[in-house]
Amino acid sequence: MWAVRGRKAALLVMLLLPVLMAVPPAATAGGETVLRLHVRAHSDAPADQAIKYAVRDAVLAVLAGLPQPQSAEDALRQTAAALPRVLNAAQKTVAAAGCSYPVRAELGPASFPTRMYGGKVYRAGTYQALQIYLGAGRGQNWWCVLFPPLCFLEAEGESMNQTRTVAVQPQKPQPLLRFKSRLWTWLKQLFGKS
């Protein structure tokens, strides 16, 4: 009996090992290391959402003035060096909008959900990120990929420094998808689980 279970376990390991080895780490997208930008609005109020977009535009304007990075590490170094200018631009934008809440900028690891940018899927996981917190940072967020430079491609379609009125609607929960696999069904039957 133990010999049969041992063979079943070995078969399971041989089948699953190539699949597990093919999954890239969370900090990469398609084998590419990335640097992300995350702007966290003070609240969901339309005025705070408009400020979030104005801050985004100001931050992207500062970062667009940096030399083109050749790697994510290069982008991280340049962004770290520009952090005081980024924070200053964000603070000035919030003050110009007539708000007095604090602004914080952090550079380091952060968790993100799965998103698609420039036709590429970036899995949920922990990424290096420039995070801008406006006030309480509890409103709807905006994020993009700084390296490779997809934020700038995304923002080209929108006019920089444009004031927007944003209608915030609560998001509906996504339906749970269930996949059925013949291999999984066979493995469950093989090991006597139903």
Residue ranges of E strands in 3-58: 28-29, 32-33, 35-40
Q: Convert the pLDDT of each residue in 60-72 to its tens digit.
A: 999 999 999 988 8
Overall number of domains in the chain: 1
What is the CA 51 to chain-centroid distance, rounded?
Answer: 20
pLDDT higher than threshold 70 for residue 186:
yes
- To the question of pTM greater than 0.75 for the whole model, the response is no
Q: Looking at residue 155, what is its pLDDT?
A: 44
Q: Looking at residue 30, what is its pLDDT?
A: 47
Residue 88 lies in a domain: yes
Residue 185 lies in a domain: no
Q: According to DSSP H, which parts of 67-140 are helical?
A: 72-96
Whole-number Cα distances in Å, 36 to 4, 22, 193: 49, 23, 43
Q: Convert the pLDDT of each residue in 100-122 to its tens digit.
A: 999 999 999 999 888 887 788 88
Residue 182 lies in a domain: no
Please provide the average confidence, as pLDDT, over all residues in the chain: 77
Residue 28 lies in a domain: no
Give percent of the chain above pLDDT 90.
42
Residue 26 lies in a domain: no
Residue 60 lies in a domain: yes
Tokens at 136, concatenated: 């309480």
Q: Looking at residue 5, what is its pLDDT?
A: 63
Residue 18 lies in a domain: no
Q: Convert the pLDDT of each residue in 20-29 to its tens digit.
A: 444 334 344 4
Q: Looking at residue 10, what is its pLDDT?
A: 60
What is the domain range of residue 133? 34-156
Q: Looking at residue 86, what is its pLDDT?
A: 96
Q: Convert the pLDDT of each residue in 47-101 to its tens digit.
A: 999 999 999 999 999 999 999 998 888 999 999 999 999 999 999 999 999 999 9
In sign, the C-alpha dihedral spanning 92, 97, 98, 100 is: negative
Closest by CA to 144, choosing from 162, 160, 159, 132, is 132
Consecutive H or E run containing 8: helix 2-21
Residue 24 lies in a domain: no
